[in-house]
Structure 1
């Protein structure tokens, strides 16, 4: 059987306090509890640590040796607890964050400087992947996912939402004309996703009800690829505001079919394992993103 921390604490307290009764008062335990802890410890070690008389307790030679080791173990534990308390007060350590490349580039990277200025003892490790990953396999602390969540093994915190809308470059619209109604899209080059197919369900009000399924002429796995194609005048894309808001502000992309577009907001969630205690370095990162990516963050 292994020695327990409770037994070590009882042994050291008895030596320091001079009696089992005083040690019990010091540790807030019963006299019988301290006595049993000492008995178990000596049985496990198969040696006598304290010589007991009616008047006092005295360390044996073996007890003197074991006391030194006990004090070192308890001091090491105290030091570890102090370090953890310091990390909670001042988060530190490596933080591995995963997100789809468009979100990482347009939403996370612009905030990195401010975050590290506030938390200089955190080392960020940024990983991009356009498909959902296994957090454990990739040794990821937190992943940011756009859209509905399906993995029930993960704990999620909502960071914000982002509107999606149809966009094209002024150059494309000058060459091909601006669609006036949903049916006009049949005469245009559509830019869409290879997967999942649900991303090609555009938020348009049409005769078949709410939602219109686009059949892409050019398909890509990454939203950033579709954004670059749209900027290059290659077609109409349905993009989220987190990656396209600045393009609209600068006039590089303009919205089409605004009157026929339904309000469709994609949820932005940070996920981590449910059985993971939220470390301070993760918590401060999520708090920071939530404050910056709240309502109105993407215009």
Structure 2
């Protein structure tokens, strides 16, 4: 009887949930990143991998301090799981598109969605009333298994290499403030305007190093004595700048409409910060597909 049970177990598939956790952990070689991508806890990923190792009877990862590395057996399993899940993902995507061929769900970073994409969205709807596109506010690591078809992300994190990535535009940033506060926050310098030493800097927890990065790109020194105020989200820091509370680092596309409307001013202009926004998808768009139509429209906004 025990022999029959063991034989049955040897022919059974491992837990599909454990295999999914293993695939992401193996790809990222980091349990925390896997947890973020799958919206689970670090402990849940660790338990899933441990149960898989116990089921197979062999270690899949070599654990060193805070990092993990695939063993030879882990590499072998990863190749097989990656191929299997990739085939399932492509088939599921094709079936979804055949069931709703003119429908898309696009995920976009919240502040970019609110301040850049939505104001331009009526123009897309006029051009393509036949397409049913749902906009979702979401940033950071993503999973196309969660029901989204496309995603707009800035390349400030590592996404899977097998995704199709289409560059949209480079990020430009610069200090912005209420137009009526320019003389209060800036003063004449040898090469034009410069920040006054006591100008309040507005920070955001979602881009905690925005000020340091801009100062480095602009060739200016960090002022340790400058007062500051921090906000939970980028959108709040920009609204605080509109209200005259200080100067924020504003990405060009997220402040250009407010500048045109006279709500914000950018006295020092904008400079490249080295990052880019990309349109991400599970695979390359088919000619004439809703994916290609949307991608072409997005790139036309920058032409």
The TM-score with structure 1 as length reference comes to 0.56
In structure 2, the residue matched to 1:187 is: 198
Q: Partners in 1 of 2:293 and 2:227 — Cα distance? A: 40
SS of the residue corresponding to residue 106 of structure 1 reads helix
In structure 1, the residue matched to 2:261 is: 250
CA contact (8 A) 1:135 1:143 kept: no
In structure 2, the residue matched to 1:151 is: 159
Q: Kindly provide the CA deviation profile for residues 62-111 of structure 1, in whole angstroms up to 9, marking residues without a partner as x.
A: xxxxxxxxxxxxxxxxxxxxxx9xx99xx942200111222112322233
Q: Deviation of residue 134 (structure 1)? A: 2.0
In structure 2, the residue matched to 1:124 is: 133
Q: Deviation of residue 248 (structure 1)? A: 2.1
SS of the residue corresponding to residue 215 of structure 2 reads strand
CA contact (8 A) 2:105 2:136 kept: yes
In structure 1, the residue matched to 2:144 is: 136
Matched, 1:115 2:124: yes
In structure 1, the residue matched to 2:242 is: 231
> 1:284 is matched with which residue: 285, 293, 297?
293
Q: Deviation of residue 286 (structure 1)? A: 0.7
The RMSD of aligned alpha carbons is: 3.3
The TM-score with structure 2 as length reference comes to 0.56
> 1:219 is matched with which residue: 230, 239, 259?
230
In structure 1, the residue matched to 2:25 is: none
Structure 1 alignment gaps of length 5 or more: 1-83
CA contact (8 A) 2:141 2:157 kept: no
CA contact (8 A) 1:188 1:235 kept: yes
Aligned residues: 200
> 1:178 is matched with which residue: 186, 191, 194?
186
Structure 2 alignment gaps of length 5 or more: 1-93
Rg larger in structure:
1
Which deviates further from its counterpart, 159-168 or 114-123? 114-123
Q: Deviation of residue 184 (structure 1)? A: 4.8
